[in-house]
Structure formats: structure tokens, C-alpha cells
């Protein structure tokens, strides 16, 4: 199921964005096949299978030839003679199906400092300002040593930007994490930070849900974190709605992220607060893995998660998430039904 998106006068910045759509399900049958679409700010849709003459086309296949296809997309967006249909006739899916998902933790300075202060070690009775200064020093050292914290997510956790999110019965403390996501448009392996943004096709919105109760292994603390269990339930990564080309985003390191829970602001921060910017994050990931077209690099979440507020997700909650120039997503939480 899905909830209606929040109304928006300007769904995204720039002349066009990409996404994946399908015709809504008819009462007597299943939904139509998903297809790649060009969307205009007026919320008109161009079916790219027809426009580019390829019935097997997907957004990921477009990204595999991004330098060659981008000029054609610009022309299509400006051509009023191309057949267009209202976006309201379609269901919006995640804009791309990545082969790899790279996730980042501890990348917003204020968020990490808050966590450092909140998780006081036993017997540490120092004043808060002293512990904040210590945390700030740690952040400065991490930045200087160029060591982001990146781990792997599963593509199967991705869902659409308006789809319901099922909270598993075993998830005791499900939490939200609004993040800017960079989408790769050219293979990247061992690229420098100066080269990295040339490998980014565009940007989208991600909400990287996490069950806080299962982040750390209780059976054997020495094992450390368990990202498979805590982050990769089906639907735990709402993505989209739009893949906005990088050329339409003036500065990915100066975007405002806002997440509201049932209409109440929870996260409101700028990507300026990132310790490692988009270029450094992409570069760092590429020095271990080969980043492929369509892959998604999540860049971390700012302060204001549920643990901060003492309020975790529960059945019926609605999350509205937006990032400057990238539109907005709306997802509803639904408790898993167990027999």
C-alpha cells in the first residue's frame, strides 16, 4: 500500500528528474509493469521506453550510459511535442534499483557530538561542556585522518517513497534517519575526492530506518554492530521519489533536510554539518569497492533521530521527509501482523 504524497508547488529543482513508475493496479488485476520516466516540474510524465525506443529500458540502464543519454534527456524535457501524461495516473516507485547500497554512519558533526554526550561512560562525571569539547576534538581528528564510516546495505530493503513501511514484530526500537543519497552514473574505483562528483549522476532522498535495539549484538558484544539485522528489513530504506540530475543541484553540501513525524519537525539540518562531504564519501567508498552505475551512496543522518527525542516509530506514524531541490516522500508505518 501507499499514502498520497504531500502537496508540493515545486517537486524538484531543474527542468526534469527521473523516476520509475507503473500504472496503478486495476480492481480485477495486477499493476502494469514498471518503466523509467522523465518527470517535469509541472508533474507531467514521459515514458522513456517509447521516447528512446527501448522496451527493456530501466533507470539503471540509462545510468550505464549517463554521459551519452543526458543530452537526449535535456532535449526531451524541452520538447513540448513529446507525448506527456499526468503523473497522478501512475504509482511512484524507488527511482532506481541499485546493485550496491553504501551506507554511512556518524557523519553529522552535531549528531555525533550529541550521541557522545548522551552515552556517558560509567563513572564519567565531567561537565557536559567538557565532554562536548572532547567529542568535537574527536570529530576534527576523524576529518583530518579522512576516515568516514561506511558499511553495506541491501537493495532488497529499498521501497518506494510513498509505500507503507512494515515494522517487523521483532523490531523493538525502530527509528528514522533522513539522508541525502548520491546515485552513481559512471563506474568509480579509487577516484580522488576531486574526481568523485564527476561520477555522480544525481541525488535523491533516503530514509535509512534502523532498529536501535539490534544495532549491537547482545549475545557477544565483541562481535560489535549487526547492520544486517538492524537496517535491512524489507522496506527499511524508502528511496525517492526523484533522481534529480547533479547538474541541477548547485551544491550538494548546502541542502536542508527536514523530517516530520505526524506533522511535527524532528530533523532539520543542513548538509553543511557533514563531517565528510559527498565527494569525500564517494571517494572513500571507491577506494575499497568499485561503484557501479545506479549504486546509491547514503551520506549519513543529522541530529534529531527518535533516540534523541525518546520517541521511536510505531504503528500508524507518518513520516514526511524532504531535501532542498529533491522533493518529498511520505511513508506510513504499519505494524507487522503475526499469527
pLDDT digits (tens, 9 = 90+) for 107-131: 998 887 877 776 666 678 888 888 8
Residues ≥6 apart with Cβ < 8 Å to 313:
167, 174, 175, 176, 209, 261, 306, 319, 333
pLDDT digits (tens, 9 = 90+) for 51-95: 999 999 999 999 999 999 999 999 999 999 999 999 999 999 999
CATH superfamily of 101-335: Fumarylacetoacetase-like, C-terminal domain (3.90.850.10)
Tell me what pLDDT residue 29 has: 57
Q: What percent of the chain has pLDDT over 70?
A: 94
Which residue is it, cell 548538509?
271
Other residues' Cβ atoms within 10 Å of the Cβ of residue 175:
22
Other residues' Cβ atoms within 10 Å of the Cβ of residue 29:
7
Rounded CA separation 43/23 (Å): 15
> Is the confidence at residue 183, as pLDDT, over 90?
yes
Under 8 Å between Cβ of 200 and 296: no
- Cα 240–85–37 angle (5° rounding)? 35
Rounded CA separation 327/204 (Å): 8
Query: What average pLDDT score do residues 211-240 get?
Result: 92
Under 8 Å between Cβ of 124 and 131: yes
Tell me what pLDDT residue 10 has: 57
Tell me what pLDDT residue 9 has: 46
Tell me what pLDDT residue 28 has: 54
DSSP code of 26? Answer: P
Query: What average pLDDT score do residues 151-175 get?
Result: 97
**Beta strands of 26-177 (E only): which ranges?**
35-39, 44-47, 85-86, 91-93, 101-105, 149-153, 158-159, 165-167, 174-175
Work out the pLDDT band at 243, boundaries 50, 70, 90. Answer: very high
* φ, ψ dihedrals at 162, nearest 5°: -125, 10
- Residue 206's nearest CA partner among 233, 182, 170 is 182
The sheet carrying 101-105 orders its strands as 149-153, 101-105, 296-298, 178-184, 200-207, 244-245
Tell me what pLDDT residue 220 has: 84
Q: What are the cell numbers at 121?
A: 561512560
> Is the confidence at residue 167, as pLDDT, over 70?
yes
> Is the confidence at residue 165, as pLDDT, over 70?
yes
For residue 194, give the H/E element and its range.
helix 193-196
Q: What percent of the chain has pLDDT over 90?
A: 77
Mean pLDDT, the chain, whole residue set:
92
Rounded CA separation 216/130 (Å): 27
Angle between helices 109-118 and 128-145 (to 10 degrees): 130
For β-strands 101-105 and 149-153, DSSP reports them as antiparallel
Domain with CATH 3.90.850.10 in the chain: 101-335
Distances (CA, A) of 153 to 83, 87, 104, 218, 337: 38, 30, 10, 21, 25
Rounded to the nearest angstrom, the gap between the alpha carbon of residue 231 and the centroid of all alpha carbons in its chain is 13
Our separate counts of H helices and E strands in the chain read 9, 20
> Is the confidence at residue 27, as pLDDT, over 70?
no
Tell me what pLDDT residue 131 has: 85
Amino acid at each position: 500500500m501507499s499514502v498520497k504524497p504531500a502537496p508540493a508547488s515545486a517537486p524538484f529543482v531543474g527542468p526534469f528528474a527521473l523516476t520509475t513508475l507503473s500504472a496503478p493496479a486495476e480492481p480485477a488485476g495486477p499493476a502494469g509493469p514498471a518503466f523509467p520516466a522523465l518527470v517535469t516540474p509541472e508533474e507531467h510524465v514521459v515514458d522513456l521506453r517509447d521516447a528512446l525506443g527501448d522496451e527493456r529500458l530501466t533507470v539503471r540502464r540509462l545510468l550505464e550510459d549517463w554521459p551519452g543519454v543526458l543530452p537526449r534527456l535535456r532535449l526531451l524535457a524541452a520538447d513540448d511535442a513529446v507525448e506527456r501524461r499526468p503523473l497522478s495516473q501512475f504509482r511512484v516507485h524507488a527511482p532506481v534499483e541499485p546493485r550496491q547500497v553504501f551506507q554511512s554512519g556518524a557523519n553529522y558533526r552535531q549528531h555525533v557530538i550529541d550521541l557522545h554526550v548522551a552515552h556517558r561512560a560509567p563513572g564519567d562525571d565531567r561537565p557536559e561542556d567538557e565532554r562536548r569539547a572532547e567529542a568535537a576534538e574527536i570529530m576534527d581528528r576523524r576529518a583530518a585522518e579522512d576516515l568516514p564510516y561506511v558499511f553495506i546495505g541491501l537493495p532488497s530493503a529499498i521501497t518506494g517513497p510513498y509505500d507503507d513501511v512494515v515494522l517487523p514484530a521483532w523490531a523493538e526500537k525502530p527509528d528514522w534517519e533522513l539522508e541525502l543519497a548520491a546515485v552513481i552514473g559512471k563506474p568509480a574505483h579509487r577516484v580522488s575526492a576531486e574526481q568523485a562528483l564527476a561520477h555522480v549522476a544525481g541525488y535523491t532522498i533516503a530514509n535509512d530506518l534502523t532498529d536501535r535495539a539490534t544495532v549491537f549484538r547482545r549475545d557477544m558484544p565483541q562481535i560489535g554492530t549487526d547492520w544486517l539485522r538492524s537496517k535491512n528489513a524489507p522496506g527499511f530504506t524508502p528511496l525517492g521519489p526523484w533522481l534529480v540530475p547533479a547538474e541541477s543541484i548547485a551544491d550538494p553540501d548546502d541542502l536542508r533536510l527536514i523530517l516530520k513525524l505526524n506533522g511535527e519537525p524532528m530533523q532539520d539540518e543542513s548538509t553543511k554539518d557533514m563531517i565528510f562531504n559527498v565527494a569525500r564519501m564517494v571517494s572513500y567508498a571507491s577506494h575499497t569497492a568499485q561503484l557501479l552505475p545506479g549504486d546509491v551512496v547514503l551520506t549519513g543522518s543529522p541530529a534529531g533521530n527518535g533516540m534523541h527525542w525518546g520517541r521511536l516509530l510505531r504503528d500508524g506514524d507518518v513520516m514526511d521527509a524532504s531535501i532542498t531541490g529533491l522533493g518529498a516522500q511520505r511513508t506510513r508505518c504499519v505494524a507487522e501482523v503475526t499469527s
